[in-house]
Structure 1
Amino acid sequence: MYALIGLLVVLVGLTTTATVESRARRLERRMMRVERKLDLLMEHQGIQDDDPVLAEVAALMHAGQHISAIKKYRDATGAGLLEAKQAVDRLQQ
């Protein structure tokens, strides 16, 4: 009886964890799309983001230190590796 209850608890826990991770991934993708749209709007309007961290990231990029620029962006924003790489690549353009 206790083994069955234990198994049920484990299954519910795994299901809950999978659901939370799935939602987190969906939210992260949505946030990336929103940030990209905001970047495009700012670019279209000629608005510069005067974030000093982004200035440092851009300076690293122009110095040819692509990996250091990605690391700096990740440290400053908490972004994942792919998101940071995409953001740094956009700065390079």
Structure 2
Amino acid sequence: MDILGFLAVAVALLVGIVSTESRLARADRRIARVERKLDLVLDHLGLREEDPALDAVAGLARDGKKIEAIRAYREATGAGLKEAKEAVDRLG
């Protein structure tokens, strides 16, 4: 019976972890959509966020150093790999 109890607790923990991961992934996707929309609004209004670190990222992207640009973008913004790649693709 002890093994069954242990397995039940382990399964419950795994379900909780998977559920939390799923909610976090959905939240990340929603935040990314909001950021993309905000970028479009800023572009439409002709406004630009001035950030020296992002200027360096844009320079690396223009020079064809995509991996270095992605790494620099992630360091400057704390973004995930996918978001950083998409941002660098937009810059390049």
- State the TM bucket, normalised to the shorter chain: over 0.9
SS at match of 2:47: coil
What is the letter of the counterpart of residue 29 of structure 2?
A: R
CA positional deviation for 1:49: 0.8
Q: Which residue of 2 aligns with 1:72?
A: 72
TM-score in terms of structure 1 length: 0.92
Contiguous gaps of at least 5 residues in structure 1? none
CA positional deviation for 1:42: 0.4
TM-score in terms of structure 2 length: 0.93
Confirm or deny that 1:58 pairs with 2:58: yes
List structure 1 runs of 4+ shifted beyond 2 angstroms. Answer: none
CA positional deviation for 1:77: 1.7
Aligned-partner Cα distance in 2 for 1:11–1:63: 50
Aligned-partner Cα distance in 1 for 2:25–2:83: 12
Q: Which residue of 2 aligns with 1:26?
A: 26
SS at match of 1:54: helix
CA positional deviation for 1:81: 1.5
What is the letter of the counterpart of residue 65 of structure 2?
A: Q
CA positional deviation for 1:20: 0.6
What is the letter of the counterpart of residue 36 of structure 2?
A: R
Aligned-partner Cα distance in 1 for 2:14–2:31: 26
The percent of aligned pairs where both chains have the same amino acid is 51
